[in-house]
Amino acid sequence: MNRPPDGLIFDLKKYAINDGPGIRTTVFFKGCPLRCRWCHNPEGQSFSPEIMVRPSRCLSECSECVPACAETAIIKAAGVPVLDRPRCNACGKCADVCPAQAIEVVGRRLSAGQLLREIEKDRIFQEDSGGGVTFSGGEPLSQPDFLAEILEQCSRQEIHTTVDTCGFAPTEVLERAARKTDLFLYDLKAIDEKIHLAFTGVSNRLILENLSWLAAKAKKTVVRIPLISGVNDDDGNIRGTAEFLLSLMTIGEISLLPYHRLGRDKYRGLDKRADADDFAPPSAERLEVLKRDLEARGFRVSLGE
């Protein structure tokens, strides 16, 4: 009998209150097929473990990381660690010896059984609040076998399951996950295909097809719209999105998520370019206008964080 595959996650957040009903444990899967230019979780993009460096934490007199690296991929310069990423194999030995946690490995592999044990540590909070577990990312549908296995194990334990997804996956993968998913949080970034392609790197055709499939099967789904000023907060995008959702008949709840810049330090820690600096959230007044417009069309609308 084949052993179920391990999964790769980059974070596990306890006591989450913005990722579905009640108090939840949110598991962040590593790896995403989109490259949203405003992404605030850049450490969730790659499908491999990565080294993140936080220079502000580094002890200037310490150089333990340098001899720990067998690949000679790290040096100290101006009192902070500098990583030669092409040489680095993300083994984590530098992080193991760092006394200040200035270096960390982002991404760890674990079995569905190991993950379930972590989720069950919060069971009392989940049950008392009507919460459960949310699988986010990155993109959880990009690890379909692992997602299906952990969903199955949670179902056996009667743990409420939510999948937070961008919807960009083969429809058969979505169908498989939907069998054991109680709620979908479904990101819809732009209704116009050209805008979606320009700012995420992929077409939205498959995303819209998969959302239509969920609606046709009457799967409980909340559509989440990350709002970025000057990109998708215009009347045309909101009107087009509302008309599309109304045509699906079974989706009545929308969450508006104003953009934030909380990922900037993570870009620097991964030596990645922060396109996120180029964007801004809509004003509070604009958010209220959009909320009222969608409510007037019959949707239940919440403002997320």
Q: In this predicted structure, which of 159-173, 196-210, 265-279 has the lowest mean pLDDT?
A: 265-279
Confidence of residue 104 (pLDDT cuts 50, 70, 90): very high
Per-residue confidence (pLDDT) for residue 176, from 0 to 100: 97
Say whether pLDDT at 34 is over 80: yes
114: which 2 tokens? 């190991």
Q: What is the dihedral of CA 58, 259, 250, 168, to 10 degrees?
A: -60
Tell me the per-residue pLDDT of 130-173, one tens digit each, with 9 for 90 and over: 999 999 999 999 999 999 999 999 999 999 999 999 999 999 99
276: which 2 tokens? 């996120």
Per-residue confidence (pLDDT) for residue 198, from 0 to 100: 96
Q: Answer yes or no: do 92 and 158 share one domain.
A: no
Tell me the per-residue pLDDT of 37-72, one tens digit each, with 9 for 90 and over: 999 999 999 999 999 999 999 998 999 999 999 999
Q: Answer yes or no: do 196 and 243 share one domain.
A: yes
Q: In which domain, by residue range, is 229 found?
A: 7-47+109-303
Per-residue confidence (pLDDT) for residue 142, from 0 to 100: 98
| Residues in Cβ contact with 10 at an 8 Å cutoff, skipping those fewer than 6 apart | 28, 29, 30, 41, 43, 44, 106, 107, 108, 138
Q: Any idea which residue has 């699906």 for tokens?
A: 248
Please, which residues bridge with residue 300 across strands? 253
Per-residue confidence (pLDDT) for residue 4, from 0 to 100: 75
CB 9, CB 30: distance < 8 Å: yes
Per-residue confidence (pLDDT) for residue 274, from 0 to 100: 79
Q: Any idea which residue has 């069950």 for tokens?
A: 120
CATH value at residue 295: 3.20.20.70
Domain presence at residue 229: yes
Say whether pLDDT at 1 is over 70: no
Verdict on whether the full-model pTM lies above 0.85 = yes
Neighbours of 196 (CB within 10 A): 22
Per-residue confidence (pLDDT) for residue 3, from 0 to 100: 76
Q: Answer yes or no: do 144 and 67 share one domain.
A: no
What is the distance between the alpha carbons of residues 155 and 148, in angstroms, rounded to a whole number? 10
What is the distance between the alpha carbons of residues 128 and 114, in angstroms, rounded to a whole number? 23
Kindly tell me the sign of the dihedral angle through the C-alpha atoms of 7, 12, 18, 24.
positive
What is the distance between the alpha carbons of residues 30 and 48, in angstroms, rounded to a whole number? 8
Distance of CA 22 to the CA centre of its chain: 19
57: which 2 tokens? 């934490």
Phi, psi of 169 (to 5 degrees): -160, 155
CATH value at residue 71: 3.30.70.20
Confidence of residue 2 (pLDDT cuts 50, 70, 90): confident
- Quickly list H helices, 89-143: 93-97, 112-120, 123-129
Specify the number of domains making up the chain.
2
Average pLDDT over residues 194-216: 98
Tell me the per-residue pLDDT of 8-26, one tens digit each, with 9 for 90 and over: 999 999 999 999 999 999 9
Average pLDDT, the chain: 95
Confidence of residue 79 (pLDDT cuts 50, 70, 90): confident
Domain termination site, one of 89, 106, 123: 106
Q: Answer yes or no: do 117 and 191 share one domain.
A: yes
246: which 2 tokens? 């109304």
Q: Is 249 exposed, middle or buried (0-12, 13-18, 19+ CB in 10 A)?
A: exposed
Per-residue confidence (pLDDT) for residue 250, from 0 to 100: 96
Q: Answer yes or no: do 11 and 54 share one domain.
A: no
Domain termination site, one of 38, 73, 106: 106
70: which 2 tokens? 């067998």
Confidence of residue 277 (pLDDT cuts 50, 70, 90): confident
Per-residue confidence (pLDDT) for residue 184, from 0 to 100: 98
